[in-house]
Amino acid sequence: MLLFPHRLWQPAALFSATLLAAVLGFGLFFDHLSHRLAVPDTADFLPSVEDEDGVPSVSVARQARWAVETRDHRGLPFLVIDKARARLFAFDGQGRLRASTPVLLGSARSDRPVAPATPAGRFIAEPRSARPPGSLAWFDGEAELLLHAPDFWLAPGRALQRLASSEPDDKRISDGSLHVPPAFFQQYLRPLRSQRSVAYVLPEP
């Protein structure tokens, strides 16, 4: 025996079914939206180091996100160099931040590829571009971006002390090339000597 007349049950059931369909619809919509917004995921830009200097700036995060969303990096590992903070950020081919480090830059404040300035722009490294151990090279047409570990013979004086300084101006010392700590080079950058990669150098603020 029915507890409620059939004419009362039918509208209630219809309302419940409509409400359930609406909830499911909104759930699918927001699930789809979250997948679109999560390429790459915001968590991918969190640093793998614990000091606050390792947190990417808005400009670095924007550049990394753009590279991945537009596929400009071609699925290759890439670097973003923030000249304003004298900091280098290393990303893998999926756009995940692997680590960051202070970096020595050219002593001149300019984005042009003229020593002693570190040029701004997009540079591509080719494995066939042979370089001495402890160094890397990226190219943008005729412009060249060089990177060395401080134990390389071209490192400027007191390189390790300057890298340890908290002042970005202390890192403006090179002939335009980049210099990073030896341990960082060995762990994160040396593998790039045998594969293609991309380097983005943000312009001067």
3-state secondary structure 153-202: CCCCCCHHHHHHCCCHHHHEEECCCEECCHHHHHHHHHHHHHCCEEEEEC
pLDDT at residue 32 in the model = 36
Same domain, 1 and 55: no
- Please state, in angstroms and rounded to a whole number, the distance separating the CA atoms of residues 187 and 111: 28
Q: 66: domain CATH number?
A: 2.40.440.10
Same domain, 100 and 14: no
Q: Return the sign of the alpha-carbon dihedral for residues 163, 168, 170, 171.
A: positive
Same domain, 94 and 182: yes
Same domain, 158 and 68: yes
Same domain, 2 and 62: no
Tens digit of each residue's pLDDT (9 = 90 or more) over 145-174: 999 987 655 667 788 889 999 999 999 999
Same domain, 22 and 61: no
Same domain, 69 and 21: no
Q: Domain range for residue 193?
A: 42-201
Same domain, 56 and 80: yes
pLDDT exceeds 50 at position 39 = no
Domain count, the chain: 2
Same domain, 115 and 180: yes
Same domain, 32 and 47: no
How much is the average pLDDT of 99-103? 96
- Which tokens hold the place of 117? 């300035």
Q: What percent of the chain is modeled with pLDDT above 90? A: 59
E strand spans, 35-133: 78-82, 87-91, 97-102, 105-106, 121-125
Return the residue matching tokens 């900091």: 87
- In this structure, the dihedral spanned by the alpha carbons of residues 98, 104, 106 and 112, taken in order and rounded to 10 degrees, is 10
Residue type, position 112, single letter: R
Same domain, 97 and 181: yes
